[in-house]
């Protein structure tokens, strides 16, 4: 079995609260197992440009409670080229890096797969506020982002109540509506619009009109950014015009990507980070660590990426060729479960918005 002398940690793609807790867990778990650790800065860019630092246990002290990522983050188009990969492999050789734990989203996992194919064992940790990695129920950062969003939306509700207004609030999530749906429930929103489901605008307008006539003063409508950059503002204009309720648009944007990580994100990141190191040291690689039914487990990265494409209706010809019938059925069931969950959350918002 491969003997690990040193492992590297990097964070890549959009940052997410809880990444630091993951970095700490990976570093401490490795060092406690007698393996040296290097921090790789700015994602795969740091590997290409040899921006790495040997870590002691103290290098990850006092970070568990901070947002962002002490290793910084970047997206690296250069890493997709042969030149970039050669430079990254040279850095691994120079520092005797035998394995890497990469924290990020699907782009990060594709990089990890490429490195694994070149002999550097890699494990991915799902770090993104979007919760858009189909193989895992929760990603690191999702919970904190939603907690920040509901705090902001609760404030908007206060001022809506004073002025008898409607706030249309756009939340991040890339193409996924998870943040929008869950924050809509938690803030008692009147409506929510997500890219995954069709939206009955006439019903929302009618709901606002009749509720206002019956004395309701504040209205919150949450829209996911995946609907497009103008959707929220245009909807705001239409709501005001059609209902007579003064309406304002607010885009929370990157605000929800920062801030002190929640207990749930710290716990998830820590459990996943520790698990990742144990997987690496047990000789396994090319895996993404997932939370499925509150159990931390490992899923093959190729499987996870194709499952993602299946869920997002982006399968390419031949994508399923290397999987067994059972695996394909399992993927279809996972997609169906996720869709059912989204539909159920949506139904809850619309049932309770009386």
Among 127, 173, 232, 261, binds ligand F6P (CB under 6 A): 173
* Site residues (CB under 6 A) for ligand F6P, limited to 290-349: none
Compute the half-sphere exposure of residue 232: CA atoms within 13 Å on the CB side of its CA: 25
Q: Are 37 and 281 in contact (CB under 8 A)?
A: no
- 40 is an interface residue for ligand F6P by CB under 6 A: no
The interface mask with ligand F6P, positions 177-206, x = CB under 6 A, is ------------------------------
Determine which one of 15, 106, 130, 132 is catalytic.
130
**Applying CB under 6 A, which of residues 110, 174, 217, 248 lies at the interface with ligand F6P?**
174
Distant-in-sequence, close-in-space partners of 6: CB < 8 Å, separation ≥ 6: 35, 36, 37, 38, 95, 96, 97, 98
CA distance 317 to 328: 14
The encoded tokens of residue 27 equal 């570093």
Which residue in the set 172, 220, 304, 310 belongs to the binding site for ligand F6P (CB under 6 A)? 172
Least separation, in Å, of the C-beta of 108 and ligand F6P?
Answer: 11
Instruction: Please say whether the beta carbons of 223 and 169 come within 8 A.
Output: yes
CB 102 within 8 A of CB 80: no
Instruction: Examine the residue annotation and report whether 130 is marked as an active-site residue of this protein.
Output: yes
The distance of closest approach from Cβ of residue 94 to ligand F6P in the complex, given in angstroms and rounded to an integer, is 30
Q: Give dist(CA 292, CA 103) in Å, integer.
A: 18
Contact segment (CB under 6 A) with ligand F6P among 56-64, 125-133, 302-310, 334-342 equals 125-133
User: Given its phi and psi angles, is residue 184 left (phi above 0), alpha (psi -120 to 50 degrees) or beta?
Assistant: alpha
Residues 208-267 that bind ligand F6P (CB under 6 A): 225, 257
Beta carbon nearer to ligand F6P, 257 or 266: 257
Are 98 and 48 contacting, i.e. CB atoms less than 8 angstroms apart? no
14 lies in the binding site for ligand F6P (CB under 6 A):
yes
Region from 54-62, 170-178, 183-191, 308-316 binding ligand F6P, contact rule CB under 6 A: 170-178
Closest approach, Cβ 293 to ligand F6P, in A, equals: 24
d(CA 189, CA 199): 15
Q: Is 108 in the site for ligand F6P (CB under 6 A)?
A: no
Q: Across the beta sheet with 165-171, what order do the strands follow?
A: 191-193, 219-224, 165-171, 246-251
Q: Determine if 129 is a binding residue for ligand F6P (CB under 6 A).
A: yes
**Where does this chain bind ligand F6P (CB under 6 A)?**
14, 105, 128-130, 172-174, 225, 257
Catalytic residues: 130
């Amino acid at each position: 079995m491969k003997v690990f002398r040193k492992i590297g940690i990097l964070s890549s793609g959009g940052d997410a609260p809880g990444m630091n807790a993951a970095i700490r867990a990976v570093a401490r778990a490795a060092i406690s197992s007698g393996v040296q650790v290097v921090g790789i800065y700015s994602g795969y860019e740091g590997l290409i440009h040899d921006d790495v630092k040997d870590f002691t246990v103290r290098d990850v002290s006092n970070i568990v409670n901070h947002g962002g990522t002490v290793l910084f983050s970047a997206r690296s188009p250069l890493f997709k080229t042969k030149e970039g990969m050669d430079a990254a492999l040279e850095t691994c050789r120079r520092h005797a890096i035998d394995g890497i734990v990469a924290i990020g989203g699907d782009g990060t996992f594709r990089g990890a797969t490429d490195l694994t194919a070149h002999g550097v064992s890699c494990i991915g940790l799902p770090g993104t506020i979007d919760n858009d990695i189909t193989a895992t129920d929760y990603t690191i950062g999702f919970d904190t982002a939603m907690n920040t969003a509901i705090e902001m939306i609760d404030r908007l509700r206060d001022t809506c109540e004073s002025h008898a207004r409607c706030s249309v609030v756009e939340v991040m999530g890339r193409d996924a509506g998870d943040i929008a749906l869950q924050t809509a429930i938690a803030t008692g929103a009147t409506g929510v619009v997500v890219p995954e489901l069709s939206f009955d605008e006439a019903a929302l307008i009618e709901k606002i009109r009749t509720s206002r006539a019956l004395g309701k003063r504040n209205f919150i409508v949450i829209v996911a950014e995946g609907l497009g950059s103008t959707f929220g503002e245009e909807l705001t204009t239409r709501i005001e015009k059609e209902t007579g309720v003064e309406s304002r648009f607010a885009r929370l944007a990157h605000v929800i990507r920062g801030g002190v990580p929640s207990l749930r994100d710290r716990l998830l990141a820590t459990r996943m980070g520790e698990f990742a190191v144990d997987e690496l040291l047990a000789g396994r690689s090319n895996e993404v660590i997932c939370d499925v039914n509150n159990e931390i487990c490992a899923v093959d990265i190729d499987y996870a990426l194709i499952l993602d494409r299946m869920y997002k209706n982006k399968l390419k010809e031949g994508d399923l060729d290397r999987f067994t019938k059972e695996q394909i059925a399992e993927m279809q069931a996972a997609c169906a479960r996720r869709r059912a969950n989204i539909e159920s959350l949506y139904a809850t918002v619309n049932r309770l918005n009386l």
